[in-house]
Chain A
Amino acid sequence: MMTLGRTLIVTAAATLAALQGTGLIARAQSASPPGVSGAWVPMGAGRGVDPKIAPPPASPVVLKPEYAKAYDARRAAEAEATRRGEPPASAAVLCNPYGMPRMMSIASYPIEILPTPGQITIVTEAFSEVRRVYLDQPQLPIDEVPPGYYGHSVGRWEGDTLVIDTVGIKESVPGYNGMPHSSQMRIVERIRLVAPDVLHDQITIHDPVVLEKPLTYTLGYRRLPNYKMVEFVCENNREYVDEQGRVKMRLGK
């Protein structure tokens, strides 16, 4: 029996060492706390929302002067065109997905958070966008990430808070409130439950090229129990952009 017991201990130790070698132990340690998985719908800080769970106001967008002038002029021109009934085209008119970070804040469309060992996947209903957050892995240098809509995200649990670091967002992907950003943008999210059915995602945008100082805003979500995400395939887009850059609608016959 002693021999068998010793064999078992040796085997267990060897298995543990092997698991540590493959990183499986580290992944198990960062298993997601229960509560964040499932569907969530954006919740603002509007009328009727309990101030205790309402997302706090965003900090102002402070662009460097060389970017601020063009940004302000563009915003004013867009507002004026909309007032004339000639709304300017946005990427979404062409059914291009939002990308990070706007995909997290699409009014009225739920997101779904899917924790699995070593990874958290976030799926949005609008345009069926998908982002994958790799847990407990080092972030890649920005210049090694192929620029894209979702970039490269790594995450870790700090107690009850999921901290996600994202880099590698294409410069052509519109930023928060349409603000410009550079290839050096870094998005840091702190996601946590502030009530059993209310989630906050505090997003901080770091961009040493475009921003005078980091920008922080918080998104709120309400849990949608048993919600089944609806598919979203952009197959019948009747909107198009005419020669003057105005959004028009194709009519049926």
Chain B
Amino acid sequence: MRRAFVTFLLFVVAAAGSRVLAHHSFAMFDTANPVTLNGIVADFQWTNPHVYIELDVPEGVRGAKHWTIELGSPSILMRGGWKFNSLKKGDKVTAVVSPLRDGQPGSLLTRITLADGRMLGNGGPAGVGPGTTEPGPGAVTTPRP
């Protein structure tokens, strides 16, 4: 029983690096041109259909630029090693994100390095196959052909 669940988790981890779809298509994000953000967590919202990180990124003497980072759903993220309290306000993090194509400071998380050095991806699913499954809300999946 336990072995089956461990296998499931391993699959999740293996899938965590895959490209992303969700309850909306992620075509609005530019996944080909990732951006690295070093910033301070202003808010961490553990909600459905997506989890969000609000991040203040210092920009020289002008202050900080605020970024919104979208993640998968809590269900998906938990299976990728996240917890509801993985981040808290004031944490210093480094996030690699895919920015919105329209130039607004919104983005989709690829991976994040937490203050303690741990690295987390954007969750991960299990059992995604061609033809018979629909992209789920907040799911991190391999796009169907």
Residue positions of A touching B, CB distance < 8 A? 41-46, 49, 54-55, 57-58, 82-90, 92-93, 95, 98, 102, 105-109, 125-127, 197, 217-227, 230, 232-239, 246-249, 251-253
Interface residues of B in 64-109 (CB under 8 A from A): 66, 68, 70, 73-76, 78-79, 100-101, 104-106
Q: Can you identify 21 A-B contacts, CB atoms within 8 angstroms?
A: A41-B8, A42-B127, A42-B128, A46-B128, A46-B129, A85-B28, A85-B30, A85-B101, A87-B26, A93-B23, A95-B49, A98-B134, A105-B133, A107-B134, A108-B76, A230-B78, A232-B137, A239-B24, A248-B28, A252-B52, A252-B68
Q: Is the CB of B140 closer than 8 A to any CB of chain A?
A: yes
Query: In whole angstroms, what is the CA distance A45 to B50 when docked?
Result: 28
Query: In whole angstroms, what is the CA distance A154 to B125 when docked?
Result: 31
Query: In whole angstroms, what is the CA distance A102 to B1 when docked?
Result: 28
Q: Are B134 and A105 in contact (CB under 8 A)?
A: yes
A175 CB to nearest B CB, Å: 11
Q: Which residues of A sit under 8 angstroms from B126, Cβ to Cβ? A: 41, 43, 108, 222
Main secondary structure of the interface of B (DSSP, over half): loop
Q: Scoring B residues 8 to 39 as 1 if CB is less than 8 Å from chain A, else 0, what string do you get?
A: 10000000000000011111101000000000
Q: Are A237 and B52 in contact (CB under 8 A)?
A: no
Q: Are B131 and A45 in contact (CB under 8 A)?
A: yes
Given contacts A106-B133, A235-B48, could you give 13 more A-B pairs where the C-beta distance is less than 8 Å?
A44-B130, A54-B129, A55-B132, A98-B134, A107-B128, A107-B139, A108-B136, A109-B136, A126-B136, A232-B49, A236-B47, A249-B70, A249-B100
Q: Which residues of B sit under 8 angstroms from A126, Cβ to Cβ? A: 75, 136-137
Main secondary structure of the interface of A (DSSP, over half): loop
Query: In whole angstroms, what is the CA distance A157 to B23 when docked?
Result: 34
Query: In whole angstroms, what is the CA distance A197 to B8 when docked?
Result: 12
Q: Is the CB of B2 closer than 8 A to any CB of chain A?
A: yes
Q: Is the CB of B61 closer than 8 A to any CB of chain A?
A: no
- With A43-B127, A87-B25, A236-B52 in contact, is A225–B4 under 8 Å at CB? yes
Q: Are B2 and A225 in contact (CB under 8 A)?
A: yes
B68 CB to nearest A CB, Å: 4
Q: Is the CB of B141 closer than 8 A to any CB of chain A?
A: yes
CB nearest neighbor in A for B72: A108
Q: Which residues of A sit under 8 angstroms from B76, Cβ to Cβ? A: 108
B109 CB to nearest A CB, Å: 13
The 8 closest A-B pairs by CB, nearest first: A44-B129, A108-B125, A87-B25, A236-B47, A225-B1, A43-B127, A230-B75, A107-B133
